A and B are shown apart, each in its own frame.
Chain A
Amino acid sequence: MAARQASAGLSRLLLGADPVRRAIYILGMVPAVWTFYLGLTDQLGADPQNTLERTLGLWALRFLIAALAVTPLRRLGGPSLIRYRRAIGLLGFYYACLHLTVYLVLDQGLDLAAIWADIVKRPYITVGMLAFTILVPLAATSNNAMIRRLGARAWQRLHKLVYVATAAAAIHFVMLVKSWWTPEPAIYATLVAALLLMRFWFYAQKRLWPKPRPVSRPVSAEG
């Protein structure tokens, strides 16, 4: 009985109480588990390390983009998924962690000198590390307790950094390929650019060209 309660408590702590949110976490980790399974059973093609590394990185970017799409979706009349945005964003961070781990451990074999040389000398790795570094404090403060501690305003301001992180992640992808005119990174970069432009548009509407407040007038008799 106690064991059951404890495990229920643990799963609530890790996955939250909301069943939809739990489903998002569990489904969200499926690509990672599946790809790793394919890798272990030699089904990832000729260069399994590279395929695993890229697949994880791509899913990180996909989840970050999905999290960034939540607000525009609602503004444009779609459903509000704001309740699940934290889960989506955290999945992006988890995938970024896995992507980085594969690079550090499997690809580079924890050769610290080579890794450091990569970070300082290879712009696409510098940009990728920048994206990851920004995500760390955002993930660490992605809980209600931290929102309370920081205050909603400061928390929101901090979390605007996700724009920088996602843009950096997309640039990291574009810089990696040999020809800039390659469909996949170009499409992802365009998506990120569109989502960020929409943010700017919302901001401009609110701040730069505020609509005059409707003046309340007594309703005329003819109405």
Chain B
Amino acid sequence: MLIRRPSDIAPSEITPRDVYLRRREFLAGAAALGLSSGLSALLSGNAQAAPLTAEPSPLSTTDEEKTPLASITSYNNFYEFGTDKGDPARHAQRLTTSPWKVKIDGLVNKGADYDFNDLIKSSRLEERIYRMRCVEGWSMVIPWVGFPLAEVLKRADPQASAKYVAFETVVRPSEMPGQSGFFQPLDWPYREGLRLDEAMHPLAILAVGLYGETLPNQNGAPIRLVVPWKYGFKSIKSVVRISLVEKEPPITWKSQNAREYGFYSNVNPQVDHPRWSQATERRIGEGGLFGKRRPTLMFNGYGEQVAGLYAGLDLKANY
């Protein structure tokens, strides 16, 4: 059968971009009115994206231009889907994110095996616009939607001996091509960790969305950590387990190459990665082919809030 493409769509008939983008407001309104989120997801064009209602947060960065959604969703390091930055966008649709369980265990009095939907229902969602600085020397400004990690930790009631928090990403070789086959760049599961006081810091969040919608799979759906003052790899994606532990937990990149990646991995322009300088960064979406690098800020610009966590700590030795 021959399917003809209509040749007579006048440019004036095409929905202007700003109107098209305003459909989000319509959708948010629709959600507020109690319309089913299924309808909204259908209208938003992405089968998995559903709008989220979130309040703006005073902790947001507001004076910088946000990185376009297309860049945030097409340029990802998520080795479970392959080592190329385009691989996650290509392959992540295979990941089933519903149902999803997140286990809180270890040195807690109230361990839990949360269903993702219950976890999100019991939290007040906020929009947190944060800078994100990758250890590779590029950065973005991302409007996350999420809630403080501290809320979940407090609810679990950590025991006095708990000093660190360990995180794990899902292992699902049938849906994550980087976890099967000949070339497996890392040992799975991907692991990350924070000191308990870092994890309790108000800037550390569990993100469930960005740009007002649920997280795209390539960005770590359905739930991920965001720690804006540390290099991006600390912000572990698609989390299934959060454990309170006594000793510094092993983390993936440090286990892989301890000389290059440390447990802290705070953004620090004065401490170079052995293979590249960390003094500057390229802001994705800024200037295109002729964009200039910009200076990297200590603690990614969040020093005022977080420097106190590291008083007396030698940041060169504890990179």
Contact = CB atoms under 8 A, between A and B. Distances in A.
Interface of A: 39-40, 42, 44-50, 52, 106-109, 114, 117-118, 121-124, 175-179, 181-184, 186
B4 interface: no
B275 A124 contact: yes
Interface of B: 70-71, 74-75, 79, 83-86, 136, 138, 183-186, 253, 256-257, 272, 274-277, 279-280, 282, 284-285, 288-293
A39 to B, nearest CB: 4
List the 6 closest pairs (A to B, CB-CB), nearest first.
A46-B75, A179-B185, A46-B71, A39-B289, A182-B83, A183-B183
A178 B85 CA distance: 12
Contacts of A49: 282, 289, 291
A48 B289 contact: yes
18 contacts: A45-B74, A46-B70, A46-B71, A46-B284, A46-B285, A47-B85, A47-B284, A50-B138, A106-B289, A107-B293, A118-B276, A122-B274, A123-B275, A178-B136, A179-B83, A179-B185, A183-B83, A184-B84
A52 B289 contact: yes
A175 B275 contact: yes
B35 to A, nearest CB: 33
A118 B282 contact: no
Nearest to B76: A46
Contacts of A117: 277
Contact of B272 (A121, A181, A184): A121
A122 B275 CA distance: 5
Given A179-B185, A181-B183, A182-B83, A46 B293 contact: no
A64 B165 CA distance: 49
Contacts of B256: 179
A117 B273 CA distance: 13
A157 B277 CA distance: 38
A1 B315 CA distance: 72
A46 B284 CA distance: 6
Nearest to A39: B289
A44 B277 contact: no
Contacts of B74: 45-46
B289 to A, nearest CB: 4
